[in-house]
Amino acid sequence: MLRSSRIRHSGLTSVVHRHAQASLRRLSSLSSASQTAADSDMRQSPQQPQQQEPEIPILRGVCHNGTPLRMLILGAPGAGKGTQSARIRQSFDITAISSGDVLRRNIAEQTMAGRRAQAAVASGALVSDEIIVELIHAELNNIAGRSWLLDGFPRNIAQAQALDSMLESVGQPLNAVVNLDVPESVILQRIVERYVHVPSGRVYNLSYNPPKVPGVDDITGEPLEHRPDDNPESFKRRLEQYHALTRPLLKYYHATGVLTSFAGPTSDIIFPQFYAYLDQRFE
Ligand code: ADP
């Protein structure tokens, strides 16, 4: 699938642009429409006034060996998994599945699973492994054969084992696990200022990523919500759970040799590390 995307991250603009150009030259199967756009971009003469930054078509969705990327993003609640995932999708053709978004969608639609999960999500407790494994299994089935990343799942060793056997049964094991290592002192402030557009999962932060119009989603104009579980009590519980149940996954995946950690106090500092990592792995 061809993804046309505008790179907004100014520090990376030139490197992204260079890579995009290189990718475009390598790609033989560009659609004619995007080829035209790419050609006109490359033909730009130096005398032409520098207009608005061009839209850059990017088609990068497989690993070097032709295998789709099957990746997890791990990290404490509020570490910025959703933010990284959104930025990555501006540059790479990866489908992102967030277990929290899947649950919130099911709750909003009052599906059977959503009704069963509702109380646990609101209180910051974990939803039962059975419910979440089934939901994620269905999501992965829908995107079989594509590059994907999972955010928020697995949350404990039992879920990791369930995911492993799900993937092994189709001969498509994980090939990357990325851990976001963010100081906890930074995380609480972020949580208090976080708002979400539930239908899309778009996340805003009042300090560093505010919506254009206060209280509404930039794309749809629909209202933003402060997540019911983004309050100090519920957050404390989620953090404790993370330490008790999810952090042990680092050891689990370290043993399989697919784990990489990126550390930093902000998503802006972590993103270039993440980008460079994917850049090396993608064709
Ligand atoms: P955060 O990463 O900020 O905790 P998420 O959006 O990932 O938020 O999850 C919100 C809530 O959804 C969790 O507190 C939990 O109740 C539920 N949840 C999400 N993923 C899982 C999972 N893999 N297993 C069990 N419960 C989950």
Atom number of ligand 1 nearest to Cα 81: 2
* Closest-CA residue to 140 (of 188, 106, 104, 174): 174
- Tell me if 204 sits within 8 A of 195, measured CB to CB: yes
- Ligand 1 pocket check for 155: Cβ under 6 Å: yes
Could you tell me the distance, in angstroms and rounded to a whole number, from the CA of residue 67 to the centre of ligand 1?
A: 29
Q: What pLDDT shows up at residue 49?
A: 47
Q: Is the pTM of this model over 0.75?
A: no
Residues designated as active site: 81, 155, 194, 227, 238
The stretches in the chain having pLDDT less than 50 are 1-49, 56-57
Query: Which residue's C-alpha comes closest to atom 5 of ligand 1?
Result: 100
Q: How many CA atoms lie less than 13 Å away from 172 in the CB half-sphere? A: 18
**CA 213 – ligand 1 centroid, Å:** 28
HSE (side-chain half, CA atoms, 13 Å) at 199: 8
Ligand 1 pocket: which of 163, 238, 239, 243 to mutate (most atoms within 8 A of CB): 238
List b or e across 260-283, with b for residues whose CB sees 16 or more CB atoms inside 10 angstroms: eebebeebeebbbbbbeebbebbe
Could you report the per-residue pLDDT of 48-82, keeping only the tens digit for each?
Answer: 445 555 554 455 666 777 889 999 999 999 899 98
